[in-house]
């Protein structure tokens, strides 16, 4: 496959770009490198999809029933246990992501030092967002403590939450994007798109539910006062 960059006429010229067609061109080119039947690719898709589904289902079940808190006899121990499970699942997801990249071809146009440095920079930015989010929220704030009744006193507005919403999710996405570029992997790029889409769906479910929990807290506080 050629590593040359196509000219502006390939999608109709820069003066009259159909961005939907341009996106289709990019996705078609990526899919040309990917074997979706490869077991490593399938495993990566499954872990990317399963992880947010798992923690949302378990957290909502806990918020309704308090079953985990009863089993562990403490909401904190229950939250720590769920957090540990999420961390292990994320390690598995990253392993499957990497194996999927290594099992499929590289893209020649990304296999160069400049692209590698771009990927490394994205990995650094993503890690900064993830780690700073963790330090700002703490363990229970990061790992769904509000579903266990462990509520923060106020909304966190320090860095990186003063830069963008959901910085841990977007930092994680940047990590995967950087990792894919460093490996010159079209499979990694495609899987990063899946990661971003799954996070976008998760946000649509999580944010209203979390807002409801804190509204209930505020309402209870007003009644007590």
Q: What is the pLDDT of residues 90-135, one digit of tens each?
A: 999 999 999 999 999 999 999 999 999 999 999 999 999 999 999 9
- For residue 14, is pLDDT > 50? no
Mean pLDDT of 21-50: 82
Residues 6+ apart with CB under 8 A from 76: 140, 148, 150
153 labeled binding residue: no
Give the separation between CA 192 and CA 197, rounded to whole angstroms. Answer: 9
125 labeled binding residue: yes
Give the separation between CA 163 and CA 159, rounded to whole angstroms. Answer: 7
Mean pLDDT over the full length of the chain: 87
Mean pLDDT of 141-156: 90
Range with top average pLDDT, 33-37, 137-141, 210-214: 137-141
Label residue 21 by pLDDT band (50, 70, 90).
low
- For residue 19, is pLDDT > 60? no
15 labeled binding residue: no
- For residue 1, is pLDDT > 80? no
- For residue 224, is pLDDT > 90? no
Instruction: Say if CB 102 and CB 173 are below 8 A apart.
Output: no
124 labeled binding residue: yes
Label residue 221 by pLDDT band (50, 70, 90).
low
Mean pLDDT of 78-100: 98
62 labeled binding residue: no
Q: Which helix (H) or strand (E) holds 51?
A: helix 39-65
**pTM, two decimal places:** 0.84
């Amino acid at each position: 496959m050629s590593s040359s960059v196509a000219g502006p006429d390939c999608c109709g010229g820069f003066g009259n770009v159909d961005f939907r067609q341009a996106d289709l061109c990019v996705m078609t080119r990526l899919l040309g490198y990917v074997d979706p039947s490869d077991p490593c690719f399938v495993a990566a898709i499954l872990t990317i999809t399963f992880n947010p589904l798992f923690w949302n289902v378990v957290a909502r079940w806990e918020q309704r029933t308090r079953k985990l808190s009863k089993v562990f006899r403490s909401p904190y121990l229950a939250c720590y246990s769920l957090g540990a499970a999420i961390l292990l699942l994320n390690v598995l997801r990253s392993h499957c992501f990497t194996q999927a990249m290594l099992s499929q071809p590289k893209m020649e146009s990304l296999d160069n030092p400049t692209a590698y440095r771009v990927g490394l920079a994205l990995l650094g930015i993503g890690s900064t967002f993830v780690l700073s989010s963790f330090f700002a929220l703490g363990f229970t704030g990061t790992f769904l403590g509000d579903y266990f009744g462990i509520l923060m006193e106020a909304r966190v507005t320090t860095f990186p939450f003063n830069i963008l919403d959901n910085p841990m999710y977007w930092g994680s996405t940047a990590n995967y994007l950087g990792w894919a570029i460093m490996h010159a992997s079209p499979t990694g790029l495609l899987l990063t798109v899946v990661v971003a889409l799954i996070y976008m769906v998760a946000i649509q479910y999580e944010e209203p539910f979390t807002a409801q929990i804190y509204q209930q807290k505020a309402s209870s506080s007003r009644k007590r006062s």
